[in-house]
Amino acid sequence: MKTLVIFYSRTGTTKKIAENISKKLKCDIEEIFDCENRVGVKGYIKSGKQATLKKLTKLKDTNKDPSIYDLVIIGTPIWAWNMCCPIRTYITKNKEHLRKVAFFCTMGGSGANRTFKCMEKLCNKKSVACLKLKTKDVINNNYSEKVKEFTEKLKII
Ligand SMILES: Cc1cc2nc3c(=O)[nH]c(=O)nc-3n(C[C@H](O)[C@H](O)[C@H](O)COP(=O)(O)O)c2cc1C
């Protein structure tokens, strides 16, 4: 099965998990970048507001074509109990080209279940598996078991 991991990460937490998943599944990976400056406190506040308002953003060009993959695994940090704006934009632009989807997120503490439901609705598809991790567990390298469980599920779909 051809699999792509696609993710956005503002401060590297979601990126660490995306890289781990792609390594475990030996699959392609692509990081999404947008054109907004999201650095620092100003960037944090702006991003939170935009996520609450379900705003789209302007993405930099991506290289991988999701339509050639059987499974696209989408990773987002939780922003204000929502998916982040770059991932909302990516799904909105590409939903017609997604065959199967799985989701993962990193977060301070809450908002994952609500976000996964919103992502399913936006994709118009049920996810085959979901993984939620807390930022502190990612920083402390306390995520291997959960990532393993997630990737094992994906190997047998
Ligand atoms: C704008 C903004 C809003 C956030 N809102 C939430 C939230 O609602 N719930 C939560 O648990 N964490 C929230 N967080 C924390 C991030 O989800 C968390 O730190 C995440 O691991 C960051 O991932 P990254 O390093 O890949 O950007 C928020 C972070 C930002 C920047």
Domain ranges of the chain: 3-155
Any idea which fold 3-155 has?
A: Rossmann fold (3.40.50)
Q: Which DSSP string corresponds to 30-62?
A: EE--BSS---HHHHHHHHHHHHHTT---PBPPP
Q: What is the pLDDT along the chain (157 residues), one digit of tens a residue?
A: 999 999 999 999 999 999 999 999 999 999 999 999 999 999 999 999 999 999 999 999 999 999 999 999 999 999 999 999 999 999 999 999 999 999 999 999 999 999 999 999 999 999 999 999 999 999 999 999 999 999 999 998 8
Q: Specify the pLDDT at position 76.
A: 99
pLDDT for the residue 100: 98
Residues with CB under 6 A from ligand 1: 9-15, 44, 47-48, 77-81, 106-111, 135
CA-CA distances (angstroms) from residue 43 to 18, 73, 96, 112?
Answer: 23, 26, 31, 21
Q: Which atom of ligand 1 is nearest to the CA of 38?
A: 31
User: What is the crossing angle of helices 144-155 and 13-25, to 10°?
Assistant: 40
Q: Residue 13 Cα, ligand 1 centroid: separation in angstroms?
A: 9
Provide the β-strand partners of residue 130. 103
